[in-house]
Amino acid sequence: METSGLPDISWENLGFNPVTTDFMYVMKFSGDGEFLSGGLQRFGNIELNPASCVLNYGQGIIEGLKAHKKHDNSILLFRPEENGLRMKIGADRMCMPAPTIEQFVEAVKVTVLANRRWVPPPHKGFLHIRPLLMGTGPVLSLTPAPEFTFLIFVTPVGNYFEGGLKQLNLVVKEEIHRAVPGGVGSVKAIGNYAVVLKALIEAKADGFAEVLYLDSVYNKYLEEVSTANIFVVKDRIISTPVLGGTILPGVTRKSIIEIACSQGFQVEERLVSVDEMLDADEVFCTGNAICLLPVGSITYMGRRVLYGETGVVSQQLFSALSNIQMGLTEDQMGWTVILE
């Protein structure tokens, strides 16, 4: 099932907004502990019971991964099994059944191939892949849904780094926290994003690109940005907040750590204080959509620290990862999946 022909779209003007593509993938939970065989449907609205658990109690998680087109017209997926594993772990925390990793990866492949005409040409962007797992069954009391839906939709988006790496200007928000110990900060739960909207809107109104959140106990250790992990570089030692239940285990984060180690860098996963960050040589963020973006400035308690031009380490790691994702260099890590 595939629609031929080129879409009526300007690849040069892609932003990061949803575009209506051809197909989406839908799979239902059978009720006996497994998901039934799913399939493609025409992209469109879905029906939800007003009493569905995802609407009333937020029982839902999301994933995000990307597909790049090569010059030979083949398509590259980046580590889809990692996203499948993360969804499975997150689903367990949210009392939800999940597709197997094999089901997840196969569904991603089928959806991308059915929408392959929407994958931007090389260097024009990528296809953003958004899997959803939702408690769609109706409930009234606070209880897991009796029915679950796994859905994947895709949309073409532009590159964040068109014309070179764009530096982020961050602000630290002390009064708003993204996650708390014992919560679901390590899960891509849909509620994790709604709680930071107020801080993010205020920050953008003040001219900042993003918000950096601190831990909710001591209010001094770095956690992450709204939709990205953070790294600090000092004397060629790369440090990033240790995963401890409040920080999302990003696939891009994991990939950057593995690349940095392979290149001989010393990487430390530990508690990183605000003071260390303000004294760093470089700071950068990682995430599925942004890949890796350097931080140009951070404002904390009215003090603004500038980091100058994009650092050598940030540039080196960005080039290494993005070249693998786009198929510009040989994938010696075995991370990419090629779709013909």
| CA distances in angstroms from 183 to 174, 189, 330, listed in the order given | 19, 10, 40
Which residue, chain included where needed, has tokens 């958004």? 130
CB atoms within 10 A of CB 69: 23
Q: Write down the catalytic residue from 188, 198, 204, 254.
A: 188
Which of 213, 241, 229 lies closest to 287 in space, CA to CA? 229
Q: Does 173 qualify as catalytic in the annotation?
A: no
The answer to whether 230 and 240 are in contact (CB under 8 A) is: yes
Across 5-28, b (16+ Cβ under 10 Å) vs e yields eeeeeeeeebeeeebebbbbbbbe
Which of 278, 281, 265, 270 lies closest to 316 in space, CA to CA? 265
Which of 168, 136, 140, 166 lies closest to 151 in space, CA to CA? 136
Q: Which two tokens stand for residue 216?
A: 């909710």
Active site residues per annotation: 188
